[in-house]
Amino acid sequence: MTNHTDANSELPPIEGLTALQKKVVRAVLKHPDLVSDADLAKEVGEKYTSVSGVVQSLKTKGILREGKVVNFAKLGYGFCYRVDVMINPVEVQFKRDPATGMPKENPQKKLARDIVERANSAPFKDWVVIEDIMILLGNPADLSIMVRVPSHEDIFEFVTMGLRTCPGVMNTSTSYVSWSIMHEERESKPSVESHKASPQPATTQP
């Protein structure tokens, strides 16, 4: 049996993946904020030209994607919340197949897109950023939303006036994300002054 706790254990087998390609993929998984080939080369201890070629080959294979990492704290969106949403699929506004009566689109995916559209519209578009929306199977929620805002008051406005007024949203539970390992190295923490300016949040309903 493979020991997956071994630091030297292999990645799942992928046809045509070389040792250096695996090394680069492992580095990206460990440090997703390494967006430049130069940083990757330094991390894996290989020449820049070699790593650059490997990165391009991995993009061609579809294993790596183009992208940039946003430092939300430096943009002013220093507070992150997770909002769990219970939905009523019947109230989601979607089209049905006239022959079968079945939805033409997954109601949860449709509601997720509606929530993103709501956040990107006035009056929320300048101070609410949806980082991700995930569909959950089972309790405690149907959707889980990662939201970035400049202050604690902003999440209250978005949840009560924006999110909970979307057709299909039945109930919400909001939690403050105090720490994330994914963002620890590339984001500075909000200042003490900004915390003092706003009351400390707790897990809330909504």
Condensed to tens digits (0 to 9), the pLDDT of residues 164-193 reads: 999 999 999 999 999 987 776 555 545 444
How many other C-beta atoms are found inside a 10 Å radius of the C-beta of residue 62? 7
**Chain centre to alpha carbon of residue 7:** 27
pLDDT digits (tens, 9 = 90+) for 57-74: 999 988 888 876 788 888
Closest CA to 71 of 189, 156, 191, 153: 189
Bridge partners for 175 per DSSP: 82
Segment-wise mean pLDDT, segments of 10 residues, the chain, 206 residues: 50 74 88 84 94 93 82 89 94 85 88 95 93 91 96 95 96 94 61 45 53
- Confirm if 103 and 93 have CB atoms less than 8 A apart: no
What is the rounded CA–CA span in Å between residue 205 and residue 30? 35
CA distances from 70 to 8, 51, 200 (A): 31, 23, 25
